[in-house]
Structure 1
Amino acid sequence: MQDSPRTAVPGQEVPQPESPTSSARRRWTLALAGLGAFLCSLDVVVVATALPTLQSRLGAQLSELEWTINAYNLAFACLMLTGSALGDRFGRRTMYIIGLGVFTAASAACALSDSADLLIVARTVQGAGAAVVLPLTLTLISEAFPVDKRGVAIGMWGGITGLGVAGGPVLGGAITEGVSWEWIFWINVPIGLVMIPLAALRLRESFGHRPDLDIPGLVLVAAGLFCLTWAPVRAPSAGWSSIEVVVALIVGALFVVAFLLRERRARHPMLPLEYFRLRGFSSANGVIFFQFLSLLGALFMITQLFQIGLGNTPLEAGLRLLVWTGMPMITAPVAGALSEKWGNRPFMIGGLLLQAAGLGWLAGVVEPGVAYTTVVPPLIVAGVGIGMIFATTATAATAAVPVYDTGVAAGTNTALREVGGVFGIAILAAVFAHNGSYASPAAFIDGVKPALWVAAVVPLVGLLAAFAAPSTSAAEAERATAITPPDTLLTGQPE
């Protein structure tokens, strides 16, 4: 087979000679996959600076405001592994195009929504499309780039993802203030319509090695993740001790256990459990869960803090947040490149420490009328830490497994990331509601300060996973010896 980095030897790849065709294919893959990742990450946060506007225009309550973000993340998290499995079975390029189509159509439906309920439904469908697109962006990049260039490519992917996070509040604020909130969704439509034919023409089709879909596994994991994300979404309004939330957590845990038991017996498991014995895979997933629990919860609070607590317009809030959200654009590519030499563990540890320090510093200085210059340094510190984690966790998770299962690794990593984000928004919203309110700027800040302290503590819990990450040499040894190659490896043919 020509122009393919795949091989049947576990943990090893034969370097392929560079050619104009393969070089061009990699550039197109990085561009199209990067743009898909940008759109998916953009729409996680693009609503953030529009929340006060949605509250007034659609008459949305606090719980409905949470749902405009959480509905997207709920579908996103629940269907992430399903999206990866469908890509492996029916073709990554094919499912990437289908995912883009669903995402684009749902974006139009979001823009046409005239009530909070309709917007929430459309956001759910949009999240389902993103659940197919985002994990396949990492799979397409990992499949296209040889192992010696993959860290840099994934670092660039992390920077592009950071650009989506950075651009979301600014773009959302500018459009909400300058045009109308509907256009934060309309902008996805022409981009999606251009990307779909380009993906069909420029991306190379490839498949996973599993000839059959593990249908029972798909149902069990989707149901389990749904229940586990439903519980924190409902907790702020129903209460963490309510029957609804407690039952959802128990049922979700039972579904996940049933899924794991199913995967032990399945002939073609969608998630081989032996991967969790690889420290590189497990540590990356633990780090990203706690990092996003802190990040999205903090983002939900801070975007409102700048507007409600400090009196900024949506555009002003988005621009002022750039010192925080813009940092991953700079640090993620650098961390991805340096991790090739020094490994992922130092950057995961350092990133979590900086994120915790920055958010704790911010919680300490926030008060009514605080000057913007006072909050800039902690936001920069937290943003640098976030960027260090974006690239290295994705690299660690996908590099820990054989290249033919990068889709599984990417899907698992992104699913846990989004589940962490849902828990983060719910937990910080509950802390805010217990200590403050929307009654006045001072009352709002009374709730934000303890919520930010919680966001600062969470990354420190993730350090337990980061310190367990293997060194570069140990990770290579794990990957080379722990996994048995599949009997059959299905790949697309060069185009």
Structure 2
Amino acid sequence: MFSLIVFFAGSVLCSLAWNPGSLIGFRLLQGVGAGILIPTLQTVLVQTTGGRNLGRVMSIISIPTLLGPILGPVLGGIMTNALSWRWIFYVNIPITIIALLLAWRGIPAAQPSTSKRSLDIIGPPAFATLIYSIAQISNYGGLNSSRVIVPLVAGLSLTAAFIIYALHTKKAPLLDLRLFKSRLFSASNAAVFLAGMIMNGTLLLLPLYYQQVRGESVLHTGILLIPQGIGMLLTRSWVGGLADRMGSRIIVFMSLIVTIAGTLPFAFAGPATSPLVLAGALLVRGAALNGLLIPVMVSAYEGLSKDQVSHTSISIRIFQTIGGAFGAAILATVIGHQLSGHTAPTPEILAGAFHTAFWGSVGFAVAAFIPSLLLSVHKKVTAVTEAQANSISTQKQ
């Protein structure tokens, strides 16, 4: 409820922003609320199930990810064209009020964890600075600017300090790094990192491609992106069930192949390519994206005790966020490099730059095959007791 209140305040202030600086500052506050909310709800859902049917639980958690590609571009285009950009934030206000009422009435007040935790003042700044430095790479075309090097060095130094602190503190840190002794946990987080690169990187490319290469309007671009969301919607429920029955490795492996197949048409498409061909590719690609994220999240939670679930939720969120920022920065840098020296690039030059970037997205998917080989092969659907979870976790480590 606290995170929802912070998100609500951030949304109201964003809608009242008077310049870009104020909007960025209020978006930071809004992000604080979302950053607390998502891993908390994820932890509550996983703990409530007692380790059963995690695939179906992950399918529920992924619903916002599914609705985003379907409703986000369309509603964003309508509000931006017909109303005002402020409506992007106005719409959050009634939704957040409803969410607050549901949280107050529906989420039980659980007993706090018995482990003592101190406020982590190193981890969040480390990850935030690292993400900021990665985002700056695309703005300055590489590592040649001090505006990239300084935050990058600061982020890496704070990350190193956090690792030392987390391994030696007597109190529970933000993220229990000892969980990475488990091959399955490490592989799952590596796969989540690469999945973030695959999903967020291409999420940046697609609207830019339609608008800059094919000359589509904002609203029409949103409509053209709907097939990817529909593809995700079609496979959401049964991918979660498959992960419960057969584990993650095969599902992720096959999903990577299909993701590559759905991305390749954009690596060859030109201004005259049929929109139906691209819509079909997006439908295929969207159907495969569920198989990248849901089974990997299931694999990350396998065999963990109740107290370890919160660490996993935080870890998944961190690696997915950093991977998404890293993927978007790399692909934006690729496009910028391809267009350098062209003050007024022709459609052919623009298309060539995006072709190279889409090939980069394919490369991310190829790299994801490596951690996918270390994911679980099968999964028991029975509940895991606290004693069993501790035993499994000890054996993994």
TM-score (norm 1): 0.72
Q: 1:207 to 1:293 in 2, by over 3 A?
A: farther
Question: Structure 1: any 5+ residue segments left out of the alignment?
Answer: 1-96, 485-495
Structure 1 equivalent of residue 217 of structure 2: 313
Pairing of 1:416-431 with structure 2 (within 5 A): 416-431=319-334
Q: Which amino acid aligns with 1:458?
A: F
Number of residue pairs the alignment of both structures matches: 385
Structure 1 equivalent of residue 124 of structure 2: 222
Q: 1:109 to 1:326 in 2, by over 3 A?
A: farther
Q: 1:345 to 1:304 in 2, by over 3 A?
A: same
Structure 2 equivalent of residue 469 of structure 1: 375
Structure 2 equivalent of residue 82 of structure 1: none
Q: Which amino acid aligns with 1:104?
A: F
Pairing of 1:4-403 with structure 2 (within 5 A): 97-207=1-111, 209-215=113-119, 218-238=120-140, 239-270=142-173, 271-364=175-268, 366-403=269-306
Answer yes or no: is the 8 Å Cα contact 2:196–2:327 preserved in 1: yes
> How big is each residue's C-alpha offset from its partner over 1:360-417, in whole Å with a ceiling of 9 and x where there is no partner?
33212x2123220121232222212211123222222223421332121011101110
Deviation at 1:440, TM superposition (A): 5.7
Structure 2 equivalent of residue 415 of structure 1: 318
> How big is each residue's C-alpha offset from its partner over 1:10-54, in whole Å with a ceiling of 9 and x where there is no partner?
xxxxxxxxxxxxxxxxxxxxxxxxxxxxxxxxxxxxxxxxxxxxx
Q: How far apart, CA to CA, are the structure 1 residues paired with 2:103 and 2:180?
A: 33
Q: SS state of the match for residue 171, structure 2?
A: coil
Q: Which amino acid aligns with 1:481?
A: S
Answer yes or no: is the 8 Å Cα contact 1:310–1:441 preserved in 2: no
Q: How far apart, CA to CA, are the structure 2 residues paired with 1:447 and 1:110?
A: 34
Q: How far apart, CA to CA, are the structure 2 residues paired with 1:257 and 1:325?
A: 38
Q: How far apart, CA to CA, are the structure 2 residues paired with 1:187 and 1:101?
A: 15
Q: How far apart, CA to CA, are the structure 1 residues paired with 2:159 and 2:114?
A: 21
Q: How far apart, CA to CA, are the structure 2 residues paired with 1:112 and 1:455?
A: 37
Answer yes or no: is the 8 Å Cα contact 1:280–1:400 preserved in 2: no
Answer yes or no: is the 8 Å Cα contact 1:135–1:407 preserved in 2: yes
Structure 2 equivalent of residue 481 of structure 1: 391
Q: Which amino acid aligns with 2:319?
A: L
Q: 1:374 to 1:247 in 2, by over 3 A?
A: same
Deviation at 1:448, TM superposition (A): 1.6
Q: 1:322 to 1:348 in 2, by over 3 A?
A: same
Structure 2 equivalent of residue 460 of structure 1: 366
Question: Structure 2: any 5+ residue segments left out of the alignment?
Answer: none
Q: How far apart, CA to CA, are the structure 1 residues paired with 2:38 and 2:230?
A: 20
What's the RMSD between the two structures over aligned residues? 2.4
Q: Which amino acid aligns with 1:374?
A: V
- % identical aligned pairs: 23
Answer yes or no: is the 8 Å Cα contact 1:333–1:391 preserved in 2: no
Q: 1:159 to 1:350 in 2, by over 3 A?
A: farther
Q: How far apart, CA to CA, are the structure 2 residues paired with 1:268 and 1:474?
A: 33
Q: 1:321 to 1:262 in 2, by over 3 A?
A: same
Deviation at 1:266, TM superposition (A): 1.8
Q: How far apart, CA to CA, are the structure 2 residues paired with 1:441 and 1:159?
A: 39
Q: Which moved more, 1:135-144 or 1:439-448?
A: 439-448
Q: SS state of the match for residue 326, structure 1?
A: helix
